[in-house]
Chain A
C-alpha cells in the first residue's frame, strides 16, 4: 500500500508538470488574473474596434466608388463642356484683341457660364457660327 501511495505521489508530481494543456490554453489561463469586468471590457472593445475598422473601410471604399462613378456620369461632361466654351471665348477675345487693339477686347465676353452674375451687360450679338 505504501508503494502504491508512493507511486501515486510520483504520478501526481509528474501530472503537475505534464498537464495536457497547450500553450494557448495556458496563456488564456493567465487571463484569470484579471477581474471579470476588465476581461469583458477588453474583449468587447477589441471586437468592436475590429468590426468598426472593417465597416469603416467597407464604407469608405463603397462611398468612394459610388461618388467617383456618379461624378463621371453626372458632373464630368458639364465641366468639360463649360471649360471648353470658356476656352473658346478666351481664344476669340484674344483674337479680337490682336485684331482691333486692347480696347475692343474689354466689352463682351463673360468668363464662365455658371456664374455670369458679374457681367450685367449682355454680350453683343457676335455671330460665332458661320
Chain B
C-alpha cells in the first residue's frame, strides 16, 4: 500500500500508465479477523517486539480510526465453508456509483508461522461486470513475505505488483515491482527500508523509480523519508518527500479506554493544497457499538456506526457524510451477515 501512496504522490505531475491498485473491498473485514502484523504481537519472540513493522503500515494505526463512508445500501454475506476457506457475497446498491454484485473468496493455507499468522493467504474478488482483484500473500520463510496483487478488467490487465518484505531483527526492507511491461519497458520499482533506532523511534526511506511513456523524460525517481515516534499511548508518524514536495503526517492518541483520536495532515506543494483531518473512534462495548467519525478542513464530515446485533452474527453499519461547502449529504446503510 506504500506503493499506492507513492504512486499517488506522482500523480500530480505524471499520468501513471495504470491506476494504483486498491486491496479488494472485503479484504479489510477479513484481514481484521485475520492475524495482525507481527509488530503488533507482544513478546512472542524478541524479533517481533523490536521489529518496526512494514513501511506501508507507518500510518496504519491512525488510518484505522478513519471511517469508511459509503453511500446506498450494502449487504455482505460471509460464510466459512471450512476452517481454511471463506466466501463472501456483496451487494452494493447506490445512486452515485454503479450498483454491483461482488463475489469474494479467501483461502488460508496450512503453513503456520506463529499462533496467529497462517500462510499462504489467497484473496480473490470478482464483479458482476467482470472486474477481478486477486491477492496472494505468502511467507516464504520465517522472515521473508511475498505478496502479489493483480487487477483485471474483462478485456485487459489493469495492473499487477509483486512485493517482497524481509523482516530483520530491528529493520524491515521491502522491494516492490509493479506493472512491468516488457514491450514498452515500463514499470514501477519501489524500495523501502525502515529501521528501529531506539525503542520509540523508527526511521526509514523509500525510493521509487518509474519508467513509462507518459512520464516527461521517460523515467523518474523520487525519494522520501519516513519516521515514526511512539510513546505509551500515542504515536507520531511522518512521511516527507522533499523532491515531490509532499508531507504526510499522522498523530494518534489513545485518550481514554474507549476513545481514540487521530489527526492527519497531508500537504502537497506541487498541487498547492493541504488537508487536515481529525478522526476519532468511540467504543461502547456494552452496546457492542463502534463509532468512527472524521472532520475535515475542507468542511467535510463523515461518520460510521457499527453495531453488532447480539444473538445473531449480524453487524449493522450506518454511514453519514456531509460536505457543507457543496451542501451535499450522503447516507448509507449496511448489513454484514456472518
Contact = CB atoms under 8 A, between A and B. Distances in A.
Interface of A: 66, 69-70, 72-74, 77-78, 81-82, 84-86, 88-89, 113-114, 116, 128-130
A61 to B, nearest CB: 13
B284 interface: yes
Contacts of A81: 284, 287, 289, 291, 305, 307
Contacts of B293: 73-74
B287 A84 contact: yes
Contacts, number: 61
Contact of A116 (B257, B287, B291, B299): B257
A67 to B, nearest CB: 10
A67 B11 CA distance: 35
A122 B284 CA distance: 15
Contact of B303 (A66, A77, A128): A77
Contacts of B302: 73
Contacts of B295: 70, 74
B301 A74 contact: yes
Contacts of A73: 293, 301-303, 320-322
24 contacts: A66-B324, A70-B295, A72-B320, A73-B293, A73-B302, A73-B303, A73-B320, A73-B322, A74-B295, A74-B301, A77-B291, A78-B282, A78-B284, A78-B291, A81-B289, A81-B305, A82-B284, A85-B284, A85-B287, A86-B286, A89-B286, A113-B258, A113-B287, A129-B310
A28 to B, nearest CB: 43
Given A74-B293, A74-B301, A114-B258, A85 B322 contact: no
Contacts of A77: 291, 303, 305, 318
B221 interface: no
A58 B268 CA distance: 32
Interface string B157-174: 000000000000000000
B230 to A, nearest CB: 25
A78 B291 CA distance: 7
A76 to B, nearest CB: 9
A114 B259 contact: yes
A128 B286 CA distance: 9
B311 interface: yes
B287 A82 contact: yes
B301 A130 contact: no
B313 to A, nearest CB: 12
Given A73-B301, A116-B257, 10 more contacts: A70-B324, A73-B320, A73-B321, A77-B303, A82-B287, A89-B286, A113-B258, A113-B287, A114-B256, A114-B259
The 4 closest A-B CB pairs, nearest first, are: A85-B287, A85-B286, A73-B320, A129-B310
Contacts of A129: 310-311
Interface string B82-104: 00000000000000000000000
Contacts of A84: 287
B303 A130 contact: no
A78 B98 CA distance: 31
A130 B301 CA distance: 37
A69 B307 contact: no
Nearest to A115: B256
Interface string B303-331: 10101001100000010111010000100
Contacts of A89: 286
A96 B25 CA distance: 45
Contacts of B301: 70, 73-74
A69 B299 CA distance: 12
A6 B257 CA distance: 103
Contacts of A66: 299, 324
Nearest to B331: A73
B303 A69 contact: no
B79 to A, nearest CB: 22
